[in-house]
């Protein structure tokens, strides 16, 4: 598959987004958060620009951001994102997989090559996703239903982010247009990946979402 062909030639830190729904929205927003922070970013993958097409341009970038589908993950063993978010998993593509557990396993392979310094971002409110913590890499959860010790959550009229180093940031809902639950989940996932990668919180607050 294309990811397997491209993986050995990726020379920049890589952030990946997967999930049954919301991949394109979250990947696009993540790219915009990083770019607004002055981080040179290339966006592609399942979102439109093939990963192999980014390889010749990666010297221009500091970070690559990729949308990744289960179909792509099924044909790779060397794909290694330094940061990866799994937004949600609902029964889908079951004409391709023998059962729902096989589909979940396909999505979980997003994290299979991660190491201690890498980052998993998981949806705490999705039982199929929340249980995929491998205990190998760093983990941030996001939730619209409850506060978390670290990660991102809906806190009354704002999204609150607390990173492992103690940094806290508030993103008021008044500045966010897409306030539906699934959109807030997408925004939190993008913020966690972006802030962990060095994005500027003030710049992130100015990005339309």
Catalytic residues: 23, 46, 93
Residues composing the chain: 209
Contact criterion met (CB below 8 Å) for 15 and 110:
no
How does DSSP classify residue 33? Answer: H
β-strand 168-172 against 158-162: which pairing, if any? antiparallel
């Amino acid at each position: 598959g294309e990811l397997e062909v491209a993986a050995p030639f990726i020379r920049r830190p890589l952030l990946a987004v997967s999930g049954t729904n919301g991949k394109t929205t979250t990947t696009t927003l993540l790219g915009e958060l990083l770019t607004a922070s002055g981080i040179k970013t290339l966006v592609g993958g399942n979102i439109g620009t093939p990963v192999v097409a980014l390889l010749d341009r990666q010297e221009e970038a500091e970070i690559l951001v990729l949308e990744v589908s289960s179909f792509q993950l099924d044909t790779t063993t060397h794909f290694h994102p330094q940061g990866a978010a799994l937004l949600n998993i609902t029964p889908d593509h079951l004409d391709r997989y023998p059962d729902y557990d096989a589909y979940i396993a396909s999505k979980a392979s997003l994290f299979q090559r991660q190491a201690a310094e890498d980052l998993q971002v998981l949806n705490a409110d999705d039982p199929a996703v929340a249980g995929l913590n491998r205990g190998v890499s760093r983990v941030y959860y996001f939730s619209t239903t409850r506060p978390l010790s670290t990660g991102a959550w809906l806190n009354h009229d704002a999204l609150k982010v607390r990173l492992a180093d103690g940094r806290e940031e508030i993103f008021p809902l008044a500045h966010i247009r897409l306030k539906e639950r699934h959109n807030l989940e997408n925004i939190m996932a993008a913020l966690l990946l972006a802030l962990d990668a060095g994005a500027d919180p003030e710049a992130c607050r100015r990005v339309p979402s």
